[in-house]
Amino acid sequence: MKTISLEQEINPWEAQAARFDLAAQKLNLDEGLWKVLRYPNRELIVHIPVMMDNGHLEVFTGFRVQHSIARGPSKGGIRYSPDVTLDEVRALASWMTWKCAVVNIPFGGAKGGVICDPHKMSMGELERMTRRYTAELVEFIGPEKDVPAPDVNTNEQTMAWIMDTYSMHMRQTVTAVVTGKPLNIGGSRGRREATGRGIMIVCDEAIKKLRLNRESTRVIIQGFGNVGSNAAKLMAEAGYKIIGIAEVDGGLYNKNGIDLEALWNFREREGTIHGFPGAEAYDPAELLVTDCEILIPAATENQITSRNADRVKCKILAEGANGPTTATADDILGDKKVFVIPDILCNAGGVTTSYFEWVQDRQGYFWKEAVVNEQLEHIMIGAFEDVVRYAETHGVNNRIAAYMLAIDRVAYTIRQRGIYA
């Protein structure tokens, strides 16, 4: 195997391309389709002037990448972060294409981002930046074109601003332009918990396969944002033993299990998990390599790399985040026989329920939460079974199986549609 630098290993576009190429090769994908699917349809870079609170004019750079519209409108989050890059947004857009295809919903992939530090900006500044970013993209997004959603450092409020700005330009209220909105303006019940719930559903399927049970299954979760905290809470309620929570600036560990309800209330009160009396403080990097049955990286990309993969002690790696494991680490985990539930399957509960939100907005009819959760479970279990069957049939690991299944579905659609020339 060729040696690559850590910088190459953790470049999300390179990581995505390495998996795509391997899966495409195993599928014997026609060279032309290979080229079509390897690159995005459209990449937009916008420069956004924003009047800051101090009267000073600042210009922010924003991106929107639409990877594929073969199976329907493109779909994907918008992140606000100082280290957003075009390569990262490209990689995340293509991951969204594969994710939507794995769970077989009629979307392609897109992603957006603005280079900024939202923690240093006021609500007014964030609102002005969001609205101007939306205005710059107004011709390229829409319910039939490209449907944004929340991602890192964006939330229901951000989506409300985008929806309002788009609606003002269209001169009519268009709720279906974004998903992840507040409930009273067209959001879906169950959307906030959906990614965490989807993780629990696939973990349930994985422990059945490995003949484990919930009560004796110890779980460590990295990241206590929307995804990690909801996965932790739902899994604890279902009987799993959550023994570790890792955050950027510190972790918690209790070998007998952390009382998640108490932790949740503590965080609501204190605004942090640190200092929680029901667990000991722990080094977050060490938690990733602490003994457990299920490890859920639910923070950011590149957490399991060639530097720590050989020390990972879990039986099941459930990827709550996008791209938490590098391609080099995949090989090491394969040798260790770790059962990986890849990100494009594991965290697809969010986009699946976003799909339900889009459907409800377009119908103008909203479902009960029980219906949302039941439909989510049906789709996630079906996708898990499809991926595992594909892996066993083709003699590949779960990640490559998920990519092969997704690429096969998108390529099949492109062949059917033909190329417009």
Please give the positions annotated as active site.
111
Cα–Cα distance measured from residue 40 to residue 345, given in angstroms and rounded to the nearest whole number: 21
User: Residues with Cβ < 8 Å from 382, sequence gap 6 or more?
Assistant: 104
- From 355, 399, 390, select the one nearest 376 (Cα to Cα): 355
> For residues 214 and 221, is the Cβ–Cβ distance under 8 A?
no
C-alpha to C-alpha distances, 365 to 98, 253, 273, 357, nearest whole angstrom? 29, 44, 38, 10
> For residues 89 and 110, is the Cβ–Cβ distance under 8 A?
no
> For residues 146 and 67, is the Cβ–Cβ distance under 8 A?
no
- From 142, 165, 162, select the one nearest 75 (Cα to Cα): 142
| End-to-end alpha carbon distance in the chain | 40
User: Residues with Cβ < 8 Å from 153, sequence gap 6 or more?
Assistant: 79, 80, 81, 118, 119
Q: 297 has which bridge partners? A: 222
- 3-state SS string for 5-57: CHHHHCCHHHHHHHHHHHHHHHCCCCHHHHHHHHCCCEEEEEEEEEECCCCCE
> For residues 101 and 387, is the Cβ–Cβ distance under 8 A?
no
> For residues 12 and 92, is the Cβ–Cβ distance under 8 A?
yes
Per-residue buried b or exposed e for 149-169, using 16+ beta carbons within 10 Å of the residue's own CB: bbbbbbebebbbbbbbbbeee
Token code pair at residue 218: 């110890």
Token code pair at residue 23: 């899966």
Q: Look up tokens 């026989």; give the residue.
A: 337
277: which DSSP letter? Answer: T
